[in-house]
Amino acid sequence: MLASCTKGDAKLLELSEDQVLFFRAKRSHLAGLGASDLSAAAAAVLGGQAQQLAPGVWALAMRTKGRPKAAEVEKQLFHDPRTLVRTWGQRDTIHIYEPTTDWPLVVAARSQWKPGGRRGLMPAREWEDEAKDLMEAAHRSLTRSDLFDMVDKDYVRALVEQAGSHKAAVRFAAGRLLWRLALRGESSIAEKVGAEQAHALRSRWFPHLEWPHELPDPLVAASELARRYLAVYGPASPADMAHFLVPMSLWPDSG
């Protein structure tokens, strides 16, 4: 039994571990009928982990009413009108999000989270903008290989030691450009093109999405995601939240 305590004349609720676990399963739709649709399921868990696509698809399907098949989840990811977006989020890992509300929140909150473990030189903003211009001119999804000819040569040379070879440095540089555009909310992960992962600009992949003219205040966005985390996964310690969202800069000692 979790310990109970008293505050003034009011006795705080006493819960067993089983009750807490069932609460979490219910709120995250692992127990019960499931969320009303796939985007609601993604929103309920603050994005479904999808570093590998298949497990992410399965996790959302199992949390959705009627348990839709993988083909239906992929349809909503890859075919217009799309109701799901796959991109980098908390912990600098790939998740499937509800795009209208949650995607902008995650982009806005990022500056309040301590950075992930990616090491090495980051590309200049102007190179990211050039990659965006190339994607706009192409009018299609682009893979890392499509950016090889435009990556800055000085940037590639600076990455050779870390990457191990010139060829690997070119791939590293192109991949980092795509990743940085995704962090900005300018693009997201699209379909596969052959064996390569493609990426698409938000304006092309979600032509009808009403992206906010100004993103929410970063602290407000981070606080809202923290509140929603507790609504689903609480009771939780600061360390629990840190492990889910990456330690927030306003909680330097939360671990």
Token output for 156: 């590639």
Instruction: Indicate whether 169 and 231 sit together in one domain.
Output: no
Nearest residue to 133 via CA among 205, 188, 201: 201
Q: Is residue 174 part of a domain?
A: yes
Q: Is residue 163 part of a domain?
A: yes
Distance (Å, rounded) from C-alpha 103 to C-alpha 89?
9
Q: Are 110 and 225 in contact (CB under 8 A)?
A: no
Instruction: Indicate whether 32 and 106 sit together in one domain.
Output: yes
Instruction: Indicate whether 57 and 149 sit together in one domain.
Output: no
Distance (Å, rounded) from C-alpha 16 to C-alpha 243?
23
Q: Buried b / exposed e across 131-147, counting CB within 10 Å, b at 16+?
A: bbeebeeeeebbbbebb
Q: Is 184 helix (H, G, I), strand (E, B) or coil?
A: coil
Instruction: Indicate whether 30 and 103 sit together in one domain.
Output: yes
Instruction: Indicate whether 129 and 107 sit together in one domain.
Output: no
Distance (Å, rounded) from C-alpha 181 to C-alpha 230?
29
List the beta bridge partners of residue 101: none
C-alpha to C-alpha distances, 183 to 12, 50, 87, nearest whole angstrom: 41, 16, 8
Distance (Å, rounded) from C-alpha 228 to C-alpha 230?
5
Instruction: Indicate whether 103 and 222 sit together in one domain.
Output: yes
Q: Are 80 and 124 in contact (CB under 8 A)?
A: no
Instruction: Indicate whether 137 and 193 sit together in one domain.
Output: yes
Instruction: Indicate whether 73 and 188 sit together in one domain.
Output: no
Q: Is 30 helix (H, G, I), strand (E, B) or coil?
A: coil
Instruction: Indicate whether 99 and 151 sit together in one domain.
Output: no
Q: Is residue 3 part of a domain?
A: no
Instruction: Indicate whether 103 and 224 sit together in one domain.
Output: yes
Instruction: Indicate whether 40 and 130 sit together in one domain.
Output: no
| Domain range for 93 | 14-114+217-245
Q: Can you give the pLDDT at residue 207?
A: 96
Instruction: Indicate whether 110 and 234 sit together in one domain.
Output: yes
Q: Can you give the pLDDT at residue 239?
A: 84
Q: What are all long-range contacts of 207-211, with beta carbons under 8 Å and residues at least 24 apart? A: 207/80, 208/81, 209/99, 209/100, 210/100, 211/104, 211/185
pLDDT in tens, the chain (255 residues): 444 444 555 567 788 888 888 989 999 999 999 999 999 999 999 999 999 999 999 999 999 999 999 999 999 999 999 999 999 999 899 999 999 999 999 999 999 987 776 777 899 999 999 999 999 999 999 999 999 999 999 999 999 999 999 999 999 999 999 999 999 999 999 999 999 999 999 999 999 999 999 999 999 999 999 999 999 998 888 888 888 987 454 444 544
Q: Is residue 255 part of a domain?
A: no
Please count the structural domains in the chain: 2
Q: What angle do CA 194, 200, 204 make, to 5 degrees?
A: 130
Q: Is residue 210 part of a domain?
A: no
What CATH number is associated with residue 138?
1.10.10
Q: Is residue 251 part of a domain?
A: no
Q: Can you give the pLDDT at residue 9?
A: 54
Q: Buried b / exposed e across 237-248, counting CB within 10 Å, b at 16+?
A: eeeebbebbbbb
